[in-house]
Structure 1
Amino acid sequence: MKISQIPLSILLMALIISIPISLKAQQLDPILKELINKGLNKSHTINNNRIEAEQAQLDQKLAKSVFLPKVTFNGSFTRLNDDITFDDNTQTLLLETQKLIIKDAIGLPFNTAFPNNIPLQDAPNLQDKNILKTSVDLDWVLFSGLEASNALKASKHKEASLNFAGLAEKDKLALTIIETYDKLALVKASRKVLDASEHYLNEQEFYIRKAIENGLTTPISRKKIELAQQQLAAKKLDFEHNNILLIEVLHQLTGETRARLKELDPLLQSFAIDTGLNIEKRNEVKALEEAEKATHYQSKMEKSHFIPKVAVKGHYEFIEDDLSLLDPKWFIGAGIQWTVFDGNQSKLKSKKLQLETQKYKEKIENAEEMIALGISKAELTYQAALQNTKIVQKEIELANDTYEMVDKQFKNNLASITDVLNALNDLEKAQFKLQESFFNERRAVTSLLHAKGLLQY
């Protein structure tokens, strides 16, 4: 019986070729892009940010609505305990005055008795006890002392700040999903390395079994192979647990079904980018700048509290019968409100907001310094990862040649099975290091693109 043997160099070459060595930046896996989009739609933080931005839009509409006329319709019914009338002396005075006017009208002398056949009118009530009113009021602000306009500008900058903050949050989530996806790719690649090691161990087991049958080696060699196989099985179990955990993390981040995530077979791909790319302003900085502008206009709004405000007010009564003798049927007028002293409240609030503006300036400077540091760190990490990949590839070549040499020596009784297993272990470690180097390259590239404000997904 003879087993078909695949040269180790061919298996190794197939493993490396299966991993694209160079990929232009931002050419993300379409599946990864889909997962990122699902994650962005699912994120509660991003959705809350969007709602806050919509609230800022409503604040703008509220600021504009200050200058729209307010029309109010009113209706009421009131019953007093009695009619409101003139006192007795006043009523007597009104009746006597009425008699004088009538006598003068008919040509009777002043001191002549008043004729009994001429009826007199009682003095009208000042207010009947049953009062039914329906009216309309008009309130119209013509000038708000710049408070409304400053509030509008503050709300616009607040909305812009929230939008940029939302974009920054999207970047963070995208980075998390990309890293988790790459970790899954690392686990999958590591599993392929273990499968290759299993193939080599099976090959050695077959050779040892034949050697024992022919008395060329002892059963101890087989036990060493069995121990190596058990250790390999433990590694596979560990990677399987990592695979399950990463699938759970992606499920939580994106909402994608576990069944579909289990079917994914991502590959680690080495990015190739130009580290001299121009730097774009980060969304975090833009959000802080807009927040600074918003507080600036809020401060101006407090200062404008002392500017006079002008408004028009109108009133019209639909039912005239129940009005008192002193109530007008309608009126319209213009008024001015001028606050000259409010106990220093506006001044103190304005000062507090100015201090808040200074805080944002400090945050902007700190963010820019940290971004510059992040760019330098990412560039160095990327260069180190590229160099490490070259080193590991040389290590794989050496480990491969060493394994093939030791394998031949063992089959010619010039080396022990321990030497073979050690050489195989070195090859396995080198292959793991290559996958980890690809993983570190991608981490450095995504960090660099994010630091420069160029991350796209």
Structure 2
Amino acid sequence: MQVNQLLKSLVLVPFIGLVSFSGFSQDLDPYLQELISKGLNKSQTVKINDINEEQAALDQRLAKSTFIPKVTLNGSFTRLNDDLTFDQETQELLMSTQKLLIKEAVGLPFNMPFPEGIELRDAPNLQDKNILKSSVDVDWVLFSGMEATNAIKASKHKASSLNYLGLAEKDKIAIQIITAYDQLALVNASEKVLVTSEEYLMEQDNFVKKAIQNGLATPIGRKKVELAQQQLEGKKLDFQHNKILLIEQLHQLTGEDKERLKLMTPKLQMSGISNKSELEKRNEIKALEAAEQATLYKSKMEKSNFIPKVALKGHYEFLDEGLSLLDPKWYVGVGVKWNIFDGNQSRIKAKKTELESLKYRERIEEAEEMIALSVINAQLNYESKIQSLKIVEKEVELAQDTYDMVNKQYKSNLASINDVLDALTALEKTNFKYQEAVFNQRKANTELLHAKGVLNY
């Protein structure tokens, strides 16, 4: 293959014509998608947001547990300084009553003396001094006055808000990885341009050597070619350093092995255009809307403090010995708690939360305006980069034709070596400019997809 054909095959990418901007797609190769997945799994920010989302989900479960019966087992031992008994007069009254009952049972008139030989029982203690108790309590909220219900909804929307924030953060990380990946592709493409320029210089060097041998050129011409070769080596070194830095950046973003990153060969090609045109709501807006709903339900929860609450209470004693004469074996009851006035605390808290929701509403409107502007800006920028790419493609063609013409003139002694090197430098610059134009077009496409909320990875 001739050198000119080689150059064109390396640097000229078939141009996709500027068509109607009905929709866009992001061309991601499988390895880039793998890097993005690894980057999302590695990101500490994403992990922290996932933990926050999990905490919000636990808050929701905690609010739901309000309606689950609570069962408590109790056990205790108490020793008093003495038994608790009736006072002396009450004990005498109980003994006299016992005698009357016995007389009535044996048929003696109440005014007859109490018969001998019959034992009387002492009055039982009100409470023995050794108290051993074992019981179970059941507490069951039947109606929380909508407080728990609103708390469940508030925590649900909070979890949703955190989820959307996490998706927005993932978009940012994906864009960073895509940009670094495309920059590495730009470095690789630029290195190919330098290789082609090097081949051109080698061709010129060989030609000058033969011309010197035939007395058709001076050694100065050869020195100029050698200087151009050294300058080219310096550029290759710069690009190699840039490649090392980009691999390090991708390693930090994704955790991917550096040796594997060095082996990848990303290609810099113009992003495709698809038929997807719908403008979707950005995750940032969804997060703010969910946060607004969470604060509204939180306000309702605080207002519901004045609604009566209904709960069931149950108690059962396992041991009879430790009970006093007044303690029940078991009981079940339903109670109502109605907070009539709490010093305006609930009303003030609810008002404060309502103001917080108003702040979210203002943020939503501000974000919507900024996103609408960013979509227009990204659209115009994308169209500009497409047009710039089209112009640069023509510049490459012109620079290529110019170099071919000057090179032929030089070989026919109609142009100097300086003219050839200048034409080669111009060709090299336009080739670099073309690769940068492709990179800028891909970056503009990514920004437009992100602005429209349709960035997929």
- Give the TM interval when normalised to the shorter protein: over 0.9
* Conserved? CA contact 1:275–1:379, under 8 Å: no
The superposition leaves residues 102-160 of structure 1 with CA deviations (integer Å, 9 ceiling, x where unpaired) of 33443444444433422111121111122111111111111100001111111221122
Amino acid at match of 1:15: L
Instruction: Find out whether 1:6 has 2:7 as its counterpart.
Output: no
Aligned to 2:21: none
Task: Write the distance in 2 (CA, Å) between the matches of 1:403 and 1:21.
Answer: 22
Where do residues 79-228 of structure 1 align in structure 2 (5 Å cutoff)? 79-228=79-228
The superposition leaves residues 403-444 of structure 1 with CA deviations (integer Å, 9 ceiling, x where unpaired) of 222222333333332222211111110000000110111111
* Conserved? CA contact 1:164–1:283, under 8 Å: yes
Task: Write the distance in 1 (CA, Å) between the matches of 2:440 and 2:151.
Answer: 48
Amino acid at match of 1:330: W
Amino acid at match of 1:32: L
Aligned to 2:10: 15
* Conserved? CA contact 2:26–2:445, under 8 Å: no
**Aligned to 1:77, what secondary structure does the other structure show?**
strand
Instruction: Find out whether 1:362 has 2:365 as its counterpart.
Output: no
**Aligned to 1:450, what secondary structure does the other structure show?**
helix
Q: Which moved more, 1:282-291 or 1:94-103?
A: 94-103
Task: Write the distance in 2 (CA, Å) between the matches of 1:99 and 1:41.
Answer: 88
Amino acid at match of 1:164: Y
Identity of aligned residues (%): 65
* Conserved? CA contact 2:27–2:271, under 8 Å: no
Task: Write the distance in 2 (CA, Å) between the matches of 1:336 and 1:155.
Answer: 26
**Aligned to 1:169, what secondary structure does the other structure show?**
helix
* Conserved? CA contact 1:77–1:130, under 8 Å: yes
* Displacement after TM superposition at 1:57 (Å): 2.3
* Displacement after TM superposition at 1:92 (Å): 3.0
Where do residues 24-43 of structure 1 align in structure 2 (5 Å cutoff)? 25-43=25-43
The superposition leaves residues 322-344 of structure 1 with CA deviations (integer Å, 9 ceiling, x where unpaired) of 20111111111111101111111
* Conserved? CA contact 1:299–1:353, under 8 Å: yes
Where do residues 49-448 of structure 1 align in structure 2 (5 Å cutoff)? 49-273=49-273, 277-448=277-448
Task: Write the distance in 2 (CA, Å) between the matches of 1:386 and 1:147.
Answer: 57
Q: Which runs of 5+ in 1 are unaligned?
A: none
Amino acid at match of 1:84: L
Amino acid at match of 2:424: L
The superposition leaves residues 262-304 of structure 1 with CA deviations (integer Å, 9 ceiling, x where unpaired) of 1111111112426982211111111111111111100000000
Amino acid at match of 2:8: M
* Conserved? CA contact 1:20–1:269, under 8 Å: no
Task: Write the distance in 2 (CA, Å) between the matches of 1:259 and 1:20.
Answer: 32
* Conserved? CA contact 1:280–1:454, under 8 Å: yes
**Aligned to 2:165, what secondary structure does the other structure show?**
helix
Amino acid at match of 1:6: Q
* Displacement after TM superposition at 1:166 (Å): 1.8
Aligned to 1:449: 449
Q: Which moved more, 1:204-213 or 1:313-322?
A: 204-213
Q: What is the TM-score with the length of structure 1 in the denominator?
A: 0.93
Task: Write the distance in 2 (CA, Å) between the matches of 1:272 and 1:128.
Answer: 90
Aligned length: 451
* Conserved? CA contact 1:184–1:266, under 8 Å: yes
**Aligned to 2:67, what secondary structure does the other structure show?**
coil
* Displacement after TM superposition at 1:181 (Å): 0.8
Q: What is the TM-score with the length of structure 2 in the denominator?
A: 0.93
* Displacement after TM superposition at 1:44 (Å): 2.2
Task: Write the distance in 2 (CA, Å) between the matches of 1:291 and 1:446.
Answer: 28
Q: Residues 276 and 316 (structure 1 numbering): CA distance in 2 closer, same or farther, change over 3 Å?
A: closer
* Displacement after TM superposition at 1:200 (Å): 1.0
Amino acid at match of 1:232: L
* Conserved? CA contact 1:67–1:141, under 8 Å: yes
The superposition leaves residues 165-223 of structure 1 with CA deviations (integer Å, 9 ceiling, x where unpaired) of 22222222211111111111001001001111111111111222223333333322222
* Conserved? CA contact 2:27–2:272, under 8 Å: no
**Aligned to 2:243, what secondary structure does the other structure show?**
helix
Aligned to 2:20: none
Task: Write the distance in 1 (CA, Å) between the matches of 2:168 and 2:14.
Answer: 30
* Conserved? CA contact 1:127–1:325, under 8 Å: yes
Q: Which moved more, 1:244-253 or 1:434-443?
A: 244-253
> What is the alpha-carbon root mean square deviation over aligned residues?
2.0
Task: Write the distance in 1 (CA, Å) between the matches of 2:34 and 2:109.
Answer: 108
**Aligned to 1:192, what secondary structure does the other structure show?**
helix
* Conserved? CA contact 2:25–2:276, under 8 Å: no
Q: Which moved more, 1:218-227 or 1:172-181?
A: 218-227
Amino acid at match of 2:343: G
Amino acid at match of 2:145: G
* Conserved? CA contact 1:187–1:242, under 8 Å: yes
Task: Write the distance in 2 (CA, Å) between the matches of 1:456 and 1:73.
Answer: 55
The superposition leaves residues 349-372 of structure 1 with CA deviations (integer Å, 9 ceiling, x where unpaired) of 111111111111111111111111
* Conserved? CA contact 1:194–1:232, under 8 Å: yes
**Aligned to 1:271, what secondary structure does the other structure show?**
coil
Amino acid at match of 2:2: I
**Aligned to 1:226, what secondary structure does the other structure show?**
helix
Aligned to 1:45: 45
* Displacement after TM superposition at 1:451 (Å): 1.0
Task: Write the distance in 2 (CA, Å) between the matches of 1:20 and 1:304.
Answer: 67
* Displacement after TM superposition at 1:84 (Å): 1.9
* Conserved? CA contact 1:22–1:271, under 8 Å: no
* Displacement after TM superposition at 1:258 (Å): 1.0
Task: Write the distance in 2 (CA, Å) between the matches of 1:280 and 1:150.
Answer: 30
